[in-house]
Amino acid sequence: MAAAAKLAVAPGTPTTTTRHRVSTTLAASSATPTTVSLSSLQHKQEAAASTEVVAPAGVRAKAMVTPPLACMWQEVQGAGDWRGLVEPLHPLLRAEIVRYAQLVAACYRAFDLDPRSKRYLNCKHGKKQMLQAVGMHGAGYAVTKYIYAAPDVAALPKGLGRSCSKSRWIGYVAVTSDREAVRLGRRDILVSLRGTVTGSEWLANFMSTLAPARFDPGDPRLDVRVESGFLSLYTSDDVSGKFTTGSCRNQLLSEISHLVAKHKDEEISITLAGHSMGSSLALLLGYDLAELGLNSYPNNGNGGASIPITVYSFAGPRVGNLEFKDRCDQLGVKVLRVVNVNDPVTKMPGVLFNEGARVLAGRYELPWSKACYVHVGVEVALDFFEAGDIACVHDLQAYIDQLLKCTDDITVGSDSTMDEGGVRGRVVASMFEPWRWQMAAIRAGELMQALGI
């Protein structure tokens, strides 16, 4: 069944995320979503004057006289909350989204899933060869550290602690080469994190009660609450780890602090990219860095300015409550959420009780709204589905493929437009409704538990 992309901008409010759907150059009403057929994306306007943008992994995007990335990297990284870049999706932003998605996909290609291997559930390659080994020869980054994580054994069901307590490789930290830094306009420190693979990670995903983050000892901010399973993966120690010791958090904070100090005399950006569970950990890390002030230049260098933190979230679930979202906004953590509207993972936790259910008739805040999960940041929504491969709705490579199809030379159709399979997009979406209601019933217990009912 052919995929389709839609464009709609949800009315922006201080307590809801900004949503944009990819992508069209024509104006559209925010009240009535405009359906865009991706079947027309093969048409190219060869006669138009264009500038070619080539990403390190070979991604190509054509744009009308597009300025170099180095001249507008702050905007591409979210300095202006991506205003004017998402609707329509700017070619430079699209190329950067795809580039970071491919750097996350490298985690999956390098992850050893062979039980017979000595590196089982770890990276198959050494740091110096990893990106090249997975086909990213021109990525322009040098991997500086591998990152491992394990959930809190005490929080897992009885009998599972021993088998699930070991740390697993979940991603890497990297920094741009001199040549790539010139192309990007700054020295980019990258953290790339994969999604859920192991059994313990799946268990952690279902630990969906909200818990205080408590990242700053001097001001624990008990009202800032995040999903306990993600928090467990981020903060739990594994002293018996084969390749590393210490929590995922300590590994990341230590390495990023080291790289910031090393490049303190340069202009720096911190980019945190992750898929699914990895996007949740990336958001926790972004908040943590900003809350502790670790995104500041040492010795007040570079005019005392803060280093921008940008999270590229792919197929990410909700992470925390309204106070968590508000605090991320206050700290200037920029989050670009790339989601498939048919991906159920992006609806969790809080399938039923979320930012959309906080207020009654848009006026009255409900008494239990503080216990609701809320998305953070600006959303770029894709819309794709394959009848023969339901799992594709969450697959990172499918996300990348759809982004590569989202060009600016597309044709806008009406709600009655049929896709190549002859089925309307809303019919495909409705196939997920029974699943959503089942999850809603399960997640309803989250609110009751949070309120002590």
Q: For residue 67, is pLDDT > 70?
A: no
| Helices 248-262 and 277-292: angle between axes, nearest 10 degrees | 60
Taking all residues of the chain, what is their mean pLDDT, rounded to a whole number? 75
The residues that are catalytic are: 276, 343, 394
Task: Tell me which H or E stretch contains 48.
Answer: none
Task: Give 22's DSSP letter.
Answer: S
Full residue range of the structural domain in which residue 432 is found? 4-450
Confidence of residue 163 (pLDDT cuts 50, 70, 90): very low
Q: Write the pLDDT tens digit of every residue in 404-427.
A: 987 643 222 223 323 333 332 333
Q: How far apart are CA 377 and CA 329, in angstroms?
A: 8
Q: Which is more confidently placed, 301 or 223?
A: 223
Q: Write the pLDDT tens digit of every residue in 258-299.
A: 999 999 999 999 999 999 999 999 999 999 999 999 999 987
Q: What is the 3-state secondary structure (H, E, C) of 85-107?
A: CCCCCCHHHHHHHHHHHHHHHHH
Q: Of 238, 37, 197, whose CA–CA distance to 109 is shortest?
A: 197
- Judged by average pLDDT, the poorest of 1-5, 241-245, 253-257, 374-378 is 1-5
Q: Write the pLDDT tens digit of every residue in 73-86.
A: 999 999 999 999 99
Contact present, 372 and 350 (Cβ < 8 Å): yes
Q: Write the pLDDT tens digit of every residue in 18-34.
A: 555 553 332 233 332 32
What domain count does the chain have?
1
What per-residue confidence (pLDDT) applies to 56? 45
Q: Of 220, 98, 172, 209, whose CA–CA distance to 90 is shortest?
A: 98
Q: Mean pLDDT, to the nearest integer, of 426-432? A: 33
**Helix, coil or strand: residue 287:** helix
Q: How far apart are CA 189 and CA 55, in angstroms?
A: 17
- pTM, 2 dp: 0.75
Q: Mean pLDDT, to the nearest integer, of 420-437? A: 34
What per-residue confidence (pLDDT) applies to 434? 39
Q: What is the CATH number for 196?
A: 3.40.50.1820
